[in-house]
């Protein structure tokens, strides 16, 4: 009788949970998920949780497939030669294969005062802290960062009665088309968000944000959404990472250092390409990580990941959204859906992410052309 192999999945986000559930339903593996909290967090809804307009977490018992063991702990080191994961509690987990799916973390903290006075939205704890602060009543809020998280947060807070100024050092929504950007600006203005573009932040204080031009924005609460950071577990464990700290993998998501380690989601680069952080990428990447583990365990060469994108959805409160359509390589095109229809599409997609990780056998990723360079050196293309 063939001995069952153990797969340890570090990280219980979209990618890690999808990988774990896909592997568990095969029946050939004992699957362990290591996660810092006992709930599955919908990161794409954290702005709703912080604003008090929606929920953003589920008990893992309702998400993970039967048979998956959840270990609520923090991985502190990976001993690749010994195939072990060391945990903060002192427990050591042996593995036959490891899925590295830690996601992305805190935004840019290089702005003076960001750590002391800036609130964040990168995880459950930071969003819950912001929710507590905002719950005392209407606030003057400065949102630093004009990307999708900053836009969604600004709109959600304004709709809940806060006075919001969004400030960004560049233009609003740089990943959107000009048409999508202008429509988003107009909707933000309509719901009361003041947008300050091309306005660099010099310092964040306890009651104001100081700009490079010498002006300041009064704010009892400042939310910093600019940039991403990545866990340093792979780097500290001696594994090859890129300059940002993401695990370096080949086109099939296998670590370039160790064929027993598979990277997926935000915390990995694929054949030298850093794919846009999103659940749109993380869920199929998680599914493909499971396929790669299955191939490796069977002694077969894993197939290259093949991703396609269809667009970006930006919520603008509960009643409007910008749905930005794109080419398969994630380049935005000048076609958008907006208003109430956009909001319905956005909500449907948000719900589908949880449905997808809960029902991995039914999940199918879209097919088409891969982002440029992702599978340039890969032997085959595969839809996951």
Interval 330-363: pLDDT, tens: 999 999 999 999 999 999 999 999 998 998 877 6
Note down the domain range covering 175.
Answer: 114-224
Q: What is the per-residue pLDDT for 363?
A: 65
- Domains in the chain: how many in total? 2
Mark whether 165 and 213 lie in a shared domain: yes
Q: What does the alpha-carbon distance between residue 45 and residue 48 come to, in Å, rounded to a whole number? A: 5
Q: What does the alpha-carbon distance between residue 233 and residue 245 come to, in Å, rounded to a whole number? A: 9
For residue 117 the two structure tokens come to 């006075």
For residue 336 the two structure tokens come to 């958008």
- The verdict on residue 202 lying in a domain is yes
Residue 265 has pLDDT above 90, yes or no: yes
Range scoring the smallest mean pLDDT among 81-95, 235-249, 264-278: 264-278
Greater confidence (106 vs 248) lies with 248
Q: C-alpha distances in angstroms, 234 versus 32, 220, 240, 268, 273?
A: 19, 38, 7, 10, 17
pLDDT digits (tens, 9 = 90+) for 171-212: 999 999 999 999 999 999 999 999 999 999 999 999 999 999
Residue 108 pLDDT class (50, 70, 90 cuts)? low
Q: What does the alpha-carbon distance between residue 278 and residue 384 come to, in Å, rounded to a whole number? A: 16
Report the relative pairing of strands 97-100 and 261-263 from DSSP bridges. parallel
pLDDT digits (tens, 9 = 90+) for 146-180: 999 999 999 999 999 999 999 999 999 999 999 99
For residue 283 the two structure tokens come to 């869920």
Which of 201, 224, 247 is the last residue before a domain boundary? 224
Mark whether 264 and 130 lie in a shared domain: no
- The verdict on residue 182 lying in a domain is yes
Mark whether 202 and 176 lie in a shared domain: yes
Residue 375 has pLDDT above 70, yes or no: no
Residue 17 pLDDT class (50, 70, 90 cuts)? very high
Average pLDDT over residues 75-93: 98
Burial of 132-165, coded b for 16+ CB within 10 Å and e otherwise, reads eebeeeebbbbbbbbbbbbbbbbbbbbbbebbbb
For residue 225 the two structure tokens come to 């959404």
Mark whether 123 and 191 lie in a shared domain: yes
Which of 303, 329, 357 is the last residue before a domain boundary? 303
Q: What is the per-residue pLDDT for 107?
A: 62
CB 20 within 8 A of CB 29: no
Which of 224, 252, 272 is the last residue before a domain boundary? 224
pLDDT digits (tens, 9 = 90+) for 44-76: 999 999 999 999 999 999 999 999 999 999 999
User: Following DSSP, what letter does each residue of 165-214 receive, concatenated?
Assistant: EEE-SS-S-TTS-HHHHHHHHHHHHHTT-EEE-S--EEEE-SSEEEETTS
Mark whether 220 and 236 lie in a shared domain: no
Chain position carrying tokens 């001696």: 238
Q: What CATH number does residue 79 fall under?
A: 3.50.50.60
Mark whether 161 and 203 lie in a shared domain: yes
DSSP for residue 62: G
Q: What does the alpha-carbon distance between residue 328 and residue 310 come to, in Å, rounded to a whole number? A: 6
Mark whether 9 and 87 lie in a shared domain: yes
CB 212 within 8 A of CB 199: yes
Q: What does the alpha-carbon distance between residue 322 and residue 343 come to, in Å, rounded to a whole number? A: 8
Residue 274 has pLDDT above 90, yes or no: no
Q: Is 163 helix (H, G, I), strand (E, B) or coil?
A: strand
Mark whether 88 and 132 lie in a shared domain: no
Mark whether 220 and 243 lie in a shared domain: no
Mark whether 276 and 180 lie in a shared domain: no
Residues paired with 224 in a beta bridge: 144
Query: What pTM was estimated for this model as a whole?
Result: 0.91
- The verdict on residue 339 lying in a domain is no
């Amino acid at each position: 009788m063939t001995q069952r192999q153990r797969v340890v999945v570090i990280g219980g986000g979209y990618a890690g949970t999808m990988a774990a559930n896909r592997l568990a339903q095969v029946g050939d593996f004992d699957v362990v998920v290591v996660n810092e909290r006992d709930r599955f967090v919908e990161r794409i809804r954290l702005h709703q949780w912080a604003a008090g307009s929606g929920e953003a977490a589920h008990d893992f018992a309702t998400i993970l497939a039967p048979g998956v063991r959840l270990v609520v702990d923090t991985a502190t080191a990976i001993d690749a030669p010994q195939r072990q994961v060391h945990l903060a509690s002192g427990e050591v987990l042996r593995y036959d294969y490891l899925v590295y799916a830690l996601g992305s973390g805190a935004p840019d903290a290089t702005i003076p005062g960001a750590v002391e006075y800036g609130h964040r939205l990168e995880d459950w704890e930071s969003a819950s802290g912001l929710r507590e602060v905002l719950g005392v009543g209407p606030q003057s809020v400065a949102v630093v960062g004009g990307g999708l998280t900053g836009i969604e947060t600004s709109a959600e807070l304004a709709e809940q009665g806060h006075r919001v100024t969004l400030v960004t050092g560049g233009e609003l929504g740089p990943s959107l088309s000009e048409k999508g950007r202008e429509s988003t600006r107009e909707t933000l203005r309509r719901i009361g968000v003041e947008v300050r573009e091309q306005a660099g932040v010099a310092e964040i204080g306890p009651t104001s944000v100081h700009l490079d031009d010498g002006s300041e924005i009064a704010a009892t609460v400042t939310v910093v959404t600019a940039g991403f950071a990545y866990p340093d577990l792979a780097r500290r464990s001696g594994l090859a990472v890129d300059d940002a700290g993401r695990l370096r993998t080949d086109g099939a998501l296998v670590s370039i250092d160790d064929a027993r380690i598979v990277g997926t989601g935000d915390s990995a680069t694929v054949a030298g390409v850093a794919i846009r952080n999103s659940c749109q990428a993380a869920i199929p990447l998680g599914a493909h990580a499971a396929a790669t583990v299955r191939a490796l365990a069977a002694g077969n060469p894993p197939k290259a990941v093949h991703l396609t994108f269809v667009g970006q959805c930006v919520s603008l409160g509960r009643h409007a959204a910008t749905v930005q359509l794109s080419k398969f390589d994630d380049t935005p095109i000048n076609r958008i859906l907006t208003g109430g229809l956009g909001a319905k599409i956005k909500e449907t997609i948000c719900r589908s992410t949880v449905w997808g990780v809960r029902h991995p056998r039914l999940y199918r990723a879209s097919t088409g052309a891969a982002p440029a360079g992702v599978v340039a050196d890969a032997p085959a293309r595969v839809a996951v």
